[in-house]
Structure 1
Amino acid sequence: MPEPKNPADPNAIAVFSARGVQIGYLTADRAPWIGGMLRNGREIEAIFQAATPAGAAIRVGFDGEQPLLPAMTLARREPPSAARDGLWPDETYFDD
């Protein structure tokens, strides 16, 4: 939902759950683009993919397209050598 009167950013787009609970905001770099689509009547649907240090990664579908999560792999990966020393690398999230 666009928030044109938001004092921090007039391009702010609030994100709500299917139950109508606000769960956050789009990033400032994506908000103007998505806001333009909303103003032009485009249908946008999103699903949660994963928690990230900044909030969440989501998958988005436009114009009635159903957003899909990437296929999950069930294979257990051996942690990198740094992880065995107690240092884990940053998570990497893949976009289509």
Structure 2
Amino acid sequence: MSSDTTRTRVIIVPASKPALPTHIKLRHDPGRGRWHVLAPERVFEPDPIAIEILKRCDGVTSVEQIATDLAKDYNAPLQEILNDTISMLQELSDKGVVKAA
């Protein structure tokens, strides 16, 4: 692989502001009552928690704020939510499904 095509791994941290790249879409299928992440030649069916995180990935809201909102909404421990959110977003970032600034 040439150095021109090598992708640098983005590390997701609390201050990261994740977003879906323009070629990735989060769509609800009302007929099936399910959410899907549509990517070129791939379709993901995220679990309900992942959906709540992905809905908040607007490129403006930080991972820390997303976790804070979820901890409040679900009355759950902030640190646990933050760790799980970072872990999930890191995995999706590594697959190119999420970008972060």
Fold shared per TM-score above 0.5: no
Q: Which has the larger radius of gyration?
A: 1
- For normalisation by structure 2, the TM-score amounts to 0.30
Normalized per residue, the structure richer in helix is 2
